[in-house]
Amino acid sequence: MKVAVTCENGSVFQHFGHTPEFAIFDVEDGKILAENVKACGDSGHGALAGLLADEKVSVLICGGIGGGAINALKEAGILVVGGMSGPVRTVVENWLAGKLPVNLNFMCHHHDHEGEGHNCHDHKCGDHCH
């Protein structure tokens, strides 16, 4: 199975649609067998789901993510585990061990208020991901 994590500088990136890269882990029997990094280039929200599907990813671990991206990932058969932070390898190890905290409030809603003094492209979700 492959597990992808939104990534920047080895940590979970907090906005799926703007992630610069994915850390992709090959896992089997609860252990990490291999890890590599896949750059996203200029891929947008919709293309990222396709990129992960092409890589045969089964699980995405991320910080914040919007509803459209969640739907695209679900359609591709990818499980989304959101609201995470910290070093990517540690997060994957904790997920494999069943030790990730459950965070049900990981959806990004900040696009709803763009134009109200907020430019969603200049942040990493922060307080705007609910």
Q: Could you tell me the pLDDT band of residue 101, with boundaries at 50, 70 and 90?
A: confident
pLDDT mean over 107-129? 41
Q: Is 98 left (phi over 0), alpha (psi -120 to 50) or beta?
A: left
- Residue pLDDT, tens place only, 66-99: 888 899 999 999 999 998 999 999 999 999 999 9
Q: Could you tell me the pLDDT band of residue 107, with boundaries at 50, 70 and 90?
A: low
Token pair belonging to 114:
């763009």
Contact 41, 20 (CB under 8 A): no
Q: How many domains does the chain have?
A: 1
Contact 77, 60 (CB under 8 A): no
3-class DSSP state of 123: coil
Expressed in angstroms, the distance from the first to the final Cα of the chain is 29
pTM here is 0.79
Full domain range(s) for residue 109: 2-128
Token pair belonging to 87:
């070093």
Helices within the chain (DSSP H only): 45-54, 67-75, 88-96
Looking up residue 123, the CATH number of its domain turns out to be: 3.30.420.130
